[in-house]
Structure 1
Amino acid sequence: MFIRNESFYSFRRQYPIITILIAIHLILFVWMNFLPFGGWVLALGIGNNLAVANGEYWRIVTPIFMHYSISHVLFNSFSLVIFGPALEQMLGRIKFLLVYFLTGILANVATFYIGGLTYPPHLGASGAIFGLLGLYVYLVIYRKDLIDHANAQLVMTIIAIGLVMTFVGSNINIFAHLFGLIAGAALGPIILNGVKPYSYYRQRAVHDDGKVAFDPNRWNKKQRNSKLMKKLLWICFIILVVAGILSQLF
């Protein structure tokens, strides 16, 4: 579920929603930091509880797409690449978007009500990503038919690491992480109704004539590359985790 063997072309065709979300992350980050009016975009979209109380309700949504630093945007985008595809395939595009937006919005609503008007400005997709992780928590506990034991252990380990980082790191929106996770798990009974398990066999190749067919060699290629990809996955994840921690410390 979490090992990515697709090329960039096949990934963006199979998971268009995740591709679009990551593109928005990167475009906004570049705009805010390197292009004209970037400061205006940041000031207009950043989460600000006092501004929300004064009627600027869009600030409950816009922080989901905005990030402070390069490590921040890369870490959240990489997490979306790893944990999003299985859910986008199982849920479908509409349900996946619904979960992503609802959990991200609820995370910011919790920040507003619990953090109070003096809570520091905040932004980032972490609340929505923790919402996806919360959905995995529900899968592991109540829908074991949708996730195997090995993947269940892996995702729960990552969630545990994420929660530890939430409390030991600085400049982290604890409310967004916790309530994003809770919101994702709470949506599980509704959103997972009628869902089929993730399957590599649903990945399809398109021939030049436009006809859709299975690639007979795809599974063999995945078997040969799975060990290497797993090592690369963990190396990249560890590098990004370390980069995220260092960015909070210095």
Structure 2
Amino acid sequence: MFFRTESFQDFIRFYPIVATLIGIHIFLWLTGDLLQISYFVQLERLGNGNNLATADGEYWRLITPIFFHAGLAHMIFNSFSLVLFGPALEQMLGKGKFLLAYLGAGFAGNVGTFLLGPDYYLHVGASGAIFGLFGVYLYMIYAKKHLIDQANAQIVLTITVIGLVMTFIRPNINIYGHIFGLIGGLALGPIVTSGAQTFTMSFSRSRRRGSDSDIGFDPNRWNKRRIPWRRFLPKFIWGMLVILIIAGLFGRFF
């Protein structure tokens, strides 16, 4: 579910919303942070989270901070998180509901930051929206167990707990954005998972030749395939978790 094996072309084809969001992250970082193009630098200043400006009527700042990031590491970390945890939800929920969950959770995180944060608080980043995706997964785990298998549910629970712990022990993290983003995802769970289909991922030769067979997440698919790297997958997942924890301790992603 969280192990990406698609080609670049397949990723864009089957997860267009996730691919577009990541493309926006990269484009805004390149034009604003790296190349310092004046128009996009000004765009970021107008789009970052600014509680004082929001209070003055600039309400677009409750959405736009989702797309901007504070440096390369921050952008890569959030984009990588979206690559791992976004595709399955996009296929299960559909493009519209996935976008609703993502933007709705990000909006909830920014509203929480506006209501509870200091007047002069500044913030950017997709972290609240990504925590919202975890909120949707948590809703599935406790209310719609048929949509996610136990192994992947444990991965989601573990990462969510680690993320919450890091939220409170790391400096310069928008705690309000993370917590209210998670709550927003949970609240949107019943809406966006209505009619959701289980997600199986199979890029077969027939599919590459244009077959219209369904894509979905089948919780038992690993038991159906006898592949040599099957035993490697849990080690890979836990290895990535360790890397993210170490990076969170020594980097400044938020």
Change (3 A) 1:221 1:68: farther
Deviations 1:205-239 (A, max 9, x none): 232xx55469xxxx999934444565455545543
Give the corresponding residue for 1:76: 78
Deviations 1:146-172 (A, max 9, x none): 111111111100000000010000110
Give the corresponding residue for 1:2: 2
Q: Which residues of 2 match residues 42-53 of structure 1 at below 5 A?
A: 42-53=44-55
Q: Which residues of 2 match residues 57-96 of structure 1 at below 5 A?
A: 57-96=59-98
Structure-1 separation of matches of 2:58 and 2:31 = 22
**Runs of 4 or more consecutive aligned structure 1 residues displaced over 6 Å after TM superposition:** 219-222
Structure-2 separation of matches of 1:245 and 1:41 = 31
Give the corresponding residue for 1:186: 187
Answering whether residue 25 of structure 2 is matched by residue 21 of structure 1, we say no
Instruction: Give the alignment partner of residue 248 of structure 1, picking from 242, 249, 252.
Output: 252
SS of the residue corresponding to residue 200 of structure 1 reads: coil
Change (3 A) 1:70 1:239: farther
Deviations 1:8-29 (A, max 9, x none): 1111111111000001011111
Instruction: Report the more deviating stretch, 4-13 or 94-103.
Output: 4-13
Which amino acid in structure 2 is aligned with residue 90 of structure 1? Answer: M
Give the corresponding residue for 1:165: 166
What is the deviation of 1:247?
2.5
What is the deviation of 1:139?
0.9
Give the TM-score of the pair, scaled to structure 2.
0.87
Change (3 A) 1:222 1:14: farther
Structure-1 separation of matches of 2:146 and 2:168 = 32
Give the corresponding residue for 1:107: 109
Structure-2 separation of matches of 1:137 and 1:74 = 24
Structure-1 separation of matches of 2:126 and 2:193 = 22
Deviations 1:177-207 (A, max 9, x none): 0011011111112221121111124877232
Please report the RMSD computed on the Cα atoms of aligned residues, expressed in angstroms.
2.5
The share of aligned pairs that are identical, in percent, is 49
SS of the residue corresponding to residue 20 of structure 1 reads: helix
What is the deviation of 1:248?
3.1
Give the corresponding residue for 2:243: 239
What is the number of equivalent residue pairs in this alignment? 243
Give the corresponding residue for 2:177: 176
Structure-2 separation of matches of 1:9 and 1:230 = 26
Change (3 A) 1:233 1:154: closer
Structure-1 separation of matches of 2:202 and 2:104 = 30
Structure-1 separation of matches of 2:198 and 2:188 = 17
Change (3 A) 1:60 1:134: same
Which amino acid in structure 2 is aligned with residue 7 of structure 1? Answer: S
Give the corresponding residue for 1:197: 198
Contact 1:127 1:176 in 2 (8 A): yes
What is the deviation of 1:32?
1.6
Change (3 A) 1:53 1:178: same
